[in-house]
Amino acid sequence: MPNAAIQSIAMSVAERVMTNEEFEKIVETSDEWIQTRTGIKERRVAEPGQSSSYFGAIAAADALKRAGVNPEDVDMVICATVTGDHLFPGTACLIQERIGAKNAGAFDVGAACAGFIYAAEVASSMIRNGTIRNAVVVGVDTLTHFVDWSDRSTCVLFGDGGGAAYMEATEEDRGIVATVMLSDGSGAKHIKIEKGGSLYPPSRPQSEGKCSTLYMAGKEVFRFAVRAMADSCHKVLEKAGLTADDVTLFCPHQANLRIITAAAEHLGLPMERVFVNVQKYGNMGAGSIPVALYEAEAEGALKKGDLVMTVGFGAGLVWGANLIRW
């Protein structure tokens, strides 16, 4: 069986920078509160019309360019997102069309902030079993289109953008070494956008009074996140027969610096081996892990042959981790 290596990675985030100071003018908050509780200093905010496929396609096209691959040679486009352009068609199809991947299949993966973990494993499994030769795996979200800008407990947390990885079959000792994917639907109530799906469709009587903006029970999600990070990291290391000492770089979902440091502490990983960029982007949902991987590589923190551990958690509830030989 071949391995499925990440041959290239790219990112695309919204251009507009929104600082904590700007929030002081629209809700009762402060730069000090946001920084101490979350680690976020600024985030990127998409313009109206800049949807998830917009950033996803830019990143996907760039990943292919970096790998020197013709879009017509791509077998599959997978997009991890919960903020797709539409309920349907899938955002992966819109990306497939924009990048000119004429001969590829395309589908979305909805696993919230763990979406890239799930999508990378799906691509890897399909490549390894021979169903496809290669895939473009996108993780992208534009959550600011869905926040309630008057709710200080959520509007300061999110940013827009994502990244894309080009994965292909290789005989080299690279690619996903082990993955764990977990869920607990009893926690579905803790992060959600209630209206707009088939239970509460827009403009239907049963949807009256239901919320079409993002709701999050912050404290519950915080407690879950700390547990989920530790749980999935331990499980994925155990599955691979490795320990935290073998990990070159820990690249977690970027939701909150306190969650990241708690997880690193729990794993006994010094912060020099933990990649953090939440201060620049806030929480970009499924986009945060590929953007972190891209920046880690660009900064020289992640090199070919290194062992990187990614971990994500989010609405569902879902969580999971990949161990990747870069």
The SS3 assignment for 2 reads coil
Nearer to ligand UT7 among residue 96 and residue 283 (C-beta)? 283
Q: How far is the CB of 149 from ligand UT7 (least distance, A)?
A: 12
CA dihedral defined by 231, 287, 249, 35, rounded to 10 degrees?
A: -80
H or E, element range at 93: helix 91-99
Q: How far is the CB of 313 from ligand UT7 (least distance, A)?
A: 6
Among 134, 256, 283, 322, the active-site one is 283
Q: How far is the CB of 128 from ligand UT7 (least distance, A)?
A: 29
For every residue of 138-156, DSSP letters joined together read EEEEEGGGGS-TT-HHHHT
Mark whether 283 is an active-site residue: yes
Nearer to ligand UT7 among residue 139 and residue 314 (C-beta)? 314
Q: How far is the CB of 310 from ligand UT7 (least distance, A)?
A: 14
How far is CA 56 from its chain centroid?
12
Q: Which residues bind ligand UT7 (CB under 6 A)?
A: 29, 33-34, 37-38, 113, 152-153, 156, 191, 218-219, 221-222, 225, 255-256, 259, 283, 314
Nearer to ligand UT7 among residue 207 and residue 279 (C-beta)? 279
Report the distance separating Cα 194 and Cα 202, nearest Å.
10
Antiparallel, parallel or unpaired: β 160-170 and 3-13: antiparallel
Nearer to ligand UT7 among residue 90 and residue 314 (C-beta)? 314
DSSP code at position 179: E
Q: How far is the CB of 19 from ligand UT7 (least distance, A)?
A: 14
Nearer to ligand UT7 among residue 127 and residue 286 (C-beta)? 286
The SS3 assignment for 260 reads helix
Q: How far is the CB of 182 from ligand UT7 (least distance, A)?
A: 15
H or E, element range at 119: helix 115-128
Closest residue to ligand UT7, judged by C-beta, is 218
Among 253, 256, 277, 322, the active-site one is 253
Antiparallel, parallel or unpaired: β 76-80 and 134-142: parallel
Q: Which of 95, 119, 120 is nearest to 109 (CA)?
A: 119
Antiparallel, parallel or unpaired: β 249-252 and 76-80: unpaired
Mark whether 251 is an active-site residue: no
Mark whether 113 is an active-site residue: yes
Q: How far is CA 107 from CA 76, 89, 119, 138, 172, in A?
A: 8, 9, 10, 11, 28
Q: How far is CA 267 from CA 227, 230, 247, 261, 323, in A?
A: 12, 7, 11, 10, 14
Report the distance separating Cα 26 and Cα 125, nearest Å.
46
Main-chain phi, psi angles of 227, to 5 degrees: -65, -45
Q: How far is the CB of 34 from ligand UT7 (least distance, A)?
A: 6
* Residues tagged active-site: 113, 253, 283
